[in-house]
Amino acid sequence: MAVTRTFSIIKPDATRRNLTGGVTKMLEDAGLRIVASRRIRMSEDQAKSFYEVHKDRPFYGELVDFMTSGPVVVQVLEGEDAVKRNRDIMGATNPAEAEEGTIRKTYAESIEANSVHGSDSDENAAKEISFFFTEDEIVG
C-alpha cells in the first residue's frame, strides 16, 4: 500500500473543549503522521469556498457559521492509504452512528459539531491540502 496524504481539520467544537491534543493522539495512534499543522480562524469566504460542494444542502449556511465560530487546526496527514485510514479513525458523520473507538464517537457533539473533517478521496485531498498549505510548509 502506498504512502499518501490527506487533509484534516480539527473543528471549533474540539478546539473549544481543548481537544487538539486528544484528536491528534488518536490520529497518530492510527498510524498517521502530522506533516503540517496550523491553528487558524477561518474567514467566512474561506469556509464558503472550502464547503462549496455542499452549497445546495440545507445545512450549508449553518455549517459555514459553525466553521467560523472559533479556531480550527488545519493539518496534512501522511501514512499508508491515508484518506481511508483517516476516514476509518474519524468514524461516521453522525456520531450516533459512529463506531466505538473512533474520533467522532469519542468526541463529537452532534452531526454538525463532529470534531473533525477529513478528505474523502485522493483527488479532494490534493485540492484541500493546496487550499491551505504550500508544498514547502509540508515536512514529512
Sign of the torsion angle spanned by Cα atoms 32, 34, 39, 42: negative
- Integer Cα distance of 88 and 93 in angstroms: 11
Binding residue (CB under 6 A) for ligand ADP from 28, 81, 88, 112:
112
Q: Does 117 bind ligand ADP (CB under 6 A)?
A: yes
Residue type, 113: A
Strand, coil or helix: what is 19?
coil
Q: Which is nearer to ligand ADP, 30 or 111 (CB)?
A: 111
CB of 136 to ligand ADP, least distance (A): 28
54 is catalytic: no
Residue labelled with grid coordinates 478521496: 121
Show the site string, 68-107: x = touches ligand ADP by CB under 6 A, - = not: -------------------------x--------------
Q: Does 34 bind ligand ADP (CB under 6 A)?
A: no
C-alpha angle 24-130-126 in degrees, rounded to nearest 5 = 80
Contact predicate 56/29, CB 8 Å: no
- Integer Cα distance of 85 and 100 in angstroms: 16
Q: Which stretch binds ligand ADP (CB under 6 A): 33-41, 74-82, 109-117, 123-131?
A: 109-117
Q: Which stretch binds ligand ADP (CB under 6 A): 22-30, 35-43, 69-77, 110-118?
A: 110-118
- Integer Cα distance of 87 and 117 in angstroms: 9
Q: Give me the catalytic one of 117, 118, 125, 133.
A: 117
Contact set with Mg ion (CB under 5 A): 120
Report, as residue numbers or ranges, the catalytic residues.
117
